[in-house]
Structure 1
Amino acid sequence: MSILSIVKHPAAILETKCQPVTVFDSKLKRLVRDMNETMIEADGVGLAAPQVGVDQRVAVVDIEDDHGLIVLINPELITSEGTQTDVEGCLSFPELYGEVTRPNRIHIKAQNVKGQFYTLQAEGFLARAILHEMDHLDGVLFTTKVEKYYSAEELERMSAE
């Protein structure tokens, strides 16, 4: 396993709609493993392939809940409902945080590393993390959705209160 370099903004690949995965092989499995290791090393909860310079519709999410690692290959949003507003950050935008409104409950369809389709329902923070990574696959950055920015110091003060 390898720790990959995280692409920082500005970089064209971060604003590019990624190509669908059509080959489910050992190279894809290695990419997913390396992305997971990279995400853990960077203390993130999600990572999309364009964030490591790969133009493929692949993302990983792990918020340390009952789901464990969620591998999203060619994910599609089926339905969404409700709204939630909270602060987000992004590994491609170090030290930048902003308040973003997203759906509270989602139902998605995706493929696993073997190419098998599955569906997943998520809500709250997990839904937020999945949608953030799915946005990356469409070249959409969280900064385009920010309603209010926060510095790292402001967030630390808010969490201490």
Structure 2
Amino acid sequence: MLRRSSTLKQGTSKATSLSPLHVIDGVRKLSKKLIIVSGEDKISKQAQYNATLLMNILIRSTLCSKKMASTHKLNMEAFDWLIGEIETRFQQAIAQPGEMVGALAAQSLGEPATQMTLNTFHYAGVSAKNVTLGVPRLKEIINVSKQLKTPSLTVF
């Protein structure tokens, strides 16, 4: 979207007309408009916060005032267009109740399971290695088994 807003950019030598206060105000207003869970009770507010936390982090880190004014050299018109475009695409991406998202959920679970299966090692003939990896290990992790077959910890 930042590339598409290049048609609205000012020249590279000119000072931008975009003030940091306008950027901060625009990001705050955008953050308040991104509603997934409506309601004013405590549970709804917490669910709304949890649902939009990562999106708000992404918006605040990407649309910081210094980047908008100095790196991307956006003017006020380009910034306002960008904010509107983000809001529109966010609203279009919300899955409605009853909409089928099973294929996407299956892909999201299937890809890591495949990677875990491919990451297993062949220990034929080695009696010391009793490794539970792949799909059985994923089942242990998802089901939070109390007795793990191969408890392990990887520290980086």
Q: What is the TM-score normalised by the length of structure 1?
A: 0.25
Q: What is the TM-score normalised by the length of structure 2?
A: 0.26
Q: Which has the higher strand share?
A: 1
Q: Which has the higher helix share?
A: 2
